[in-house]
Amino acid sequence: MDINAYKAKGKINNRHLLTLVDYSTCEIFEILKLGQHLKFLLNKGKKHTYLKDKTLAMIFAKSSTRTRVSFEQGIRQLGGVPMFLSSSDIQLGRGEPISDTVKTLERYNVDGIMIRTFKQSDVSDLAKFGTIPIINGLTDDFHPCQALADILTVYERFGKLDGVRLAYFGDGNNVANSLMVAGAKTGMDIVICSPKSNAPNAEIVAEAQKFGKVTLTESVDEAARGADVIYTDVFFSMGQETDAKKQAQLLAYQVNTALMEKAEKHAIFMHCLPAHRGEEVSAEVIDGPQSVVFEQAENRLHAQKAVMTLLMK
């Protein structure tokens, strides 16, 4: 199915956004199309209060700039109310079970929960023990909201997704995992280029490969050849210890001008941010003309507003 042939229906069957693994291609297209529509309405200054008076609780066990601000602004623009809950300030941080947390929040008429945490099982447990929609705002394993914003950015740039080649360089982390799943499901050609020791989780790779074209390679030349999109992320994700050996291995995969020159002339550079200039990417590339990192950051807002609308309406 090609996104350009897809007719939006205004609904999806999923009740949560946990990983995207359980999303159909059509459901992902539905989010992208609604995201574009909401972006259009916002830019035209048109009201779009689809979630009037709904409350989104936002639980953060890790730091955030983009996720926090885009969800807060997003729910407000939709007519709803954000409730920021740092896990170190609520009883969850002192060991209260996730099941009791969700059951309690529901009693106060919270309409949905966005959570950024460590274990993926905490996100699925919220969905299992509660009845309200749960949105994964990043775990050690996945970052589905980021992948949706990224794919929206690619779609805007190239006018298509089918056959667009995205080469990801560096650590096979949560961002890489979600890109593999979302990219494969939307017809993209995803290549993950990393040393074998930092390749993405084999089970997630196998899962993504069931849906579409996902390949792994250690060769920078092979990955960059024909690439329309060059993507990278930090060497060390939140919660990981820095490690000199891993750092040295990953430096060989740094996205710099020499690497960009191996890709297509029209190639764009992407990074979920925050970035470490001089580590996974050179300043010249991330601050250069091919970089679309702030378009990605902006699209977090539009894609997530679509997710909230479809799940919480």
Q: Which does 234 bind (CB under 5 to 8 A by kind): ligand CP, ligand NVA, none?
A: ligand NVA
Is there a catalytic annotation at residue 146? yes
Tell whether residue 64 is a contact of ligand CP (CB under 6 A): yes
Torsion of CA 290, 295, 300, 302, to 10 degrees: -140
CB 134 within 8 A of CB 17: yes
Stretch near ligand CP under the rule CB under 6 A, chosen from 102-110, 219-227, 248-256, 266-274: 266-274
Stretch near ligand CP under the rule CB under 6 A, chosen from 64-72, 104-112, 161-169, 252-260: 64-72
Tell whether residue 65 is a contact of ligand CP (CB under 6 A): yes
Catalytic residue among 36, 146, 254, 304: 146
Alpha helices in 140-282 (DSSP H): 144-158, 174-185, 202-211, 220-224, 244-251, 257-260
The distance of closest approach from Cβ of residue 273 to ligand CP in the complex, given in angstroms and rounded to an integer, is 5
| Helix, strand, coil percent values for the chain (each to nearest 5) | 45, 15, 40
The distance of closest approach from Cβ of residue 181 to ligand NVA in the complex, given in angstroms and rounded to an integer, is 15
Q: How far is CA 57 from CA 71, 81, 145, 183, in A?
A: 10, 9, 16, 29
Indicate the residue among 61 and 267 with the shorter CB distance to ligand NVA.
61
Distance of CA 215 to the CA centre of its chain: 19
Tell whether residue 234 is a contact of ligand NVA (CB under 6 A): yes
CB 143 within 8 A of CB 178: yes
Q: Which residues bind ligand CP (CB under 6 A)?
A: 64-67, 138, 146, 272-274
Give the interface with ligand NVA as residue ranges (CB under 6 A).
138, 173-175, 233-234, 237-238, 272
Catalytic residues: 116, 143, 146, 233, 272, 300
